[in-house]
């Protein structure tokens, strides 16, 4: 198991550092953290939002709705804590450099393994093409037929190589886009859950939460889940 990227309490402080640059919504915060790690580490919405909620409860950040997004901003109290812990923040920055190098090594190792597998697949395809060429050559009646078989085998080998490379590239791009969309969905769900919980607690304090409201919530979520499930196939 890889070591933790942030030490205990360090992510909380680093979120204040990120928000000290400018106010951001949740997905921007995740992207800002990912950029600082050169894309080798992308925190999940489940990692970020609970810490933002705690920072808000402590009065260190605020949140405001901006259309369908929730924008977080550091408060003066948050800046005061950040300034008080500048030395600790410097240590975190140094640790991030070490983490980036470690994560980059892990990524290189994974890529190396994937390339080794791809080379093995290409070698196997090339062997099959050569076997087919030898068989065609052995059964050929003249030199022209043998040459044609060899050329066909070479073309087949090249076609296999190009098709395999294209397939791996397509799969990689598709998976990368899917991961980005899943991350975006996690952010949206986390924001929806947090905003709805705040509204429900306020309504509960006013005594306006009824069974009919919750029944409608349950029915609406069921419909949405069915619609999304149908779209995903």
CA 82/CA 99 separation, integer angstroms: 22
- Alpha-carbon torsion (128, 131, 137, 138), positive or negative: negative
Please name the fold of domain 1-84: Arc Repressor Mutant, subunit A (1.10.10)
CA 61/CA 72 separation, integer angstroms: 7
pLDDT at residue 62, rounded to an integer: 97
pLDDT tens for residues 158-207? 765 675 676 667 666 666 666 677 777 777 777 777 777 777 888 888 88
Contact 45, 89 (CB under 8 A): no
> 35 is written with which tokens?
């950029």
The full length of the chain comes to 233
**3-state secondary structure at position 167:** helix
Residues near 85 by beta carbon (within 8 Å), at least 6 away in sequence: 13
> 36 is written with which tokens?
């600082």
pTM above threshold 0.85: no
């Amino acid at each position: 198991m890889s070591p933790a990227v942030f030490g205990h309490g360090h992510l909380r402080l680093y979120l204040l550092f990120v928000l000290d640059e400018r106010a951001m919504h949740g997905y921007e915060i995740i992207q800002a953290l990912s950029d600082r790690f050169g894309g080798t580490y992308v925190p999940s919405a489940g990692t970020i939002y609970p810490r933002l909620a705690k920072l808000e409860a402590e009065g260190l950040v605020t949140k405001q709705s901006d259309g369908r997004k929730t924008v977080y901003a550091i408060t003066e109290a948050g800046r005061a804590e950040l300034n008080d812990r500048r030395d600790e923040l410097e240590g975190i920055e140094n640790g991030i450099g070490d983490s980036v190098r470690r994560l980059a090594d892990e990524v290189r190792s994974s890529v190396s393994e994937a390339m080794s597998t791809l080379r093995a697949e290409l070698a196997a395809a090339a062997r099959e093409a050569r076997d087919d060429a030898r068989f065609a050559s052995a059964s050929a009646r003249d030199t022209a037929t043998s040459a044609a078989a060899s050329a066909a085998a070479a073309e087949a080998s090249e076609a296999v190589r190009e098709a395999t490379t294209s397939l791996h590239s397509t799969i990689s791009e598709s998976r990368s886009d899917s991961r980005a969309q899943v991350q975006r969905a996690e952010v949206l769900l986390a924001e929806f859950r947090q905003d709805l919980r705040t509204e429900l607690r306020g309504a509960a304090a006013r005594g306006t939460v009824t069974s009919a409201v919750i029944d409608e919530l349950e029915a609406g979520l069921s419909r949405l889940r069915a619609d999304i499930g149908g779209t995903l196939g």
